[in-house]
């Protein structure tokens, strides 16, 4: 039986929602039809964005590697990390184990290409934006991209760290302001490229053009582990809130 290994706690609420998405997406009619998983909830792993900007800080990589090897030893058939900024270290991390390490960034680019999107806006941490993760993946898929201006990026970080991670109400007008600026620049879809932004989509009406990377990763995990999806989850753009 295929078992998914999850490195969680980056952040904790996003991990809980990732597990919920897997359950909701899996075409299961009884408990026994669902996807087995093992979650290591490790909120103490050093902040990924902080390390991207300052390599004198503790690196999250050794602890992510150790967690992956633990999951592999427990019999996981694949690894998922519901934290987009951790993908800054993807190649190094994926090489540390012999089982697939799901890549939410490349899966997102593939999804946008399948949906016929020609230009996408990137909403993500400053660390993710700085490393060009989504930019490179989109270019390889033949998709144009835009990122927020300096004020808009500060707004995105405020939503992530001062709202969602801090457990405070989301300042939706701030999100709407950043989203509108990207749409005005020709973006046909907006990538919610941080799992904290996924929680905003979960709780607020953000628009059917917003592609949630956490949904992309959950769908990939279900497929990777050999489970079927409910038909309504085959497409992720244009979905109404449930």
DSSP track, 184-207? HTT-SEEEE-SHHHHHHHHHS---
Domain shared by 227 and 149, yes or no: no
Domain shared by 183 and 111, yes or no: yes
Token pair in block for residue 172: 């939706």
Q: What is the pLDDT of residues 158-201, one digit of tens each?
A: 999 999 989 999 999 999 999 999 999 999 999 999 999 999 99
Closest CA to 154 of 118, 183, 115, 181: 181
> What is the DSSP track for 199-233?
HHHHHS---TTEEEHHHHHHHHHHHHTTPPBPGGG
Q: Between the CA of residue 192 and those of 33, 102, 129, 179, 185, what are the distances in Å?
A: 30, 17, 12, 10, 17
Domain shared by 84 and 160, yes or no: no
Q: Does the residue 227 lie in any domain?
A: yes
Asked if residue 171 lies in contact with residue 163, where contact means CB atoms within 8 angstroms, the answer is: yes
**pLDDT score recorded for residue 224:** 97
- The residue from 187, 194, 210, 225 that is catalytic is 194
Domain shared by 113 and 124, yes or no: yes
Domain shared by 141 and 207, yes or no: yes
Residue 78 parent element (H or E):
strand 78-80
Looking at residue 226, which CATH number applies to its domain? 3.40.50.1860
Does 239 have pLDDT greater than 70?
no
233: phi then psi, degrees, rounded to nearest 5: -100, 0
Domain that holds residue 17: 4-103+216-233
Q: Is 37 helix (H, G, I), strand (E, B) or coil?
A: strand
Token pair in block for residue 40: 């290591």
Average pLDDT of the chain to the nearest whole number: 95
Q: Is 103 helix (H, G, I), strand (E, B) or coil?
A: coil
Domain total in the chain: 2
Cis peptide before 11 (omega within 30 of 0): yes
Please state the pTM of the whole predicted model.
0.94
Domain shared by 172 and 81, yes or no: no
Q: Does the residue 198 lie in any domain?
A: yes
- The residue from 83, 88, 187, 225 that is catalytic is 83
Q: Does the residue 45 lie in any domain?
A: yes
Q: Does the residue 241 lie in any domain?
A: no
Q: Does the residue 239 lie in any domain?
A: no
Domain shared by 124 and 176, yes or no: yes
Closest CA to 160 of 192, 121, 120: 192
Q: Does the residue 242 lie in any domain?
A: no
Q: Determine whether 83 is an active site residue.
A: yes
Token pair in block for residue 1: 């039986």
**pLDDT score recorded for residue 240:** 52
Q: What is the pLDDT of residues 137-148, one digit of tens each?
A: 999 999 999 999
Domain shared by 115 and 35, yes or no: no
Does 238 have pLDDT greater than 90?
no
Domain shared by 25 and 97, yes or no: yes
């Amino acid at each position: 039986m295929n078992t998914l290994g999850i490195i969680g706690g980056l952040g904790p609420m996003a991990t809980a929602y990732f597990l919920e998405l897997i359950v909701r997406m899996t075409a299961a009619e009884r408990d026994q039809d669902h996807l087995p998983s093992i979650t290591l909830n490790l909120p103490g792993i050093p902040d990924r964005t902080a390390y991207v900007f300052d390599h004198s800080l503790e690196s999250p990589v050794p602890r992510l590697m150790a967690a992956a090897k633990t999951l592999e030893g427990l019999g996981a058939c694949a690894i998922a990390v519901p934290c987009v900024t951790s993908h800054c270290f993807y190649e190094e991390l994926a090489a540390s184990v012999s089982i697939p390490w799901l890549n939410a960034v490349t899966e997102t680019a593939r999804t946008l290409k399948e949906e016929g999107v020609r230009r996408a806006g990137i909403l993500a941490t400053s660390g993710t934006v700085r490393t060009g993760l989504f930019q490179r993946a989109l270019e390889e898929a033949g998709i144009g991209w835009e990122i927020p201006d300096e004020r808009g990026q500060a707004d995105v970080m405020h939503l992530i760290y001062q709202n969602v991670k801090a457990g405070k109400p989301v300042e939706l007008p701030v999100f709407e302001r950043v989203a509108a600026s990207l749409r005005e620049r020709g973006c046909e879809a907006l990538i919610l490229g941080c799992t904290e932004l996924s929680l905003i989509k979960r709780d607020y009406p953000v628009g059917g053009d917003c592609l949630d990377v956490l949904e992309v990763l959950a769908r990939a995990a279900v497929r990777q582990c050999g489970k079927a999806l409910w038909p309504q989850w085959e497409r992720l753009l244009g979905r109404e809130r449930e």
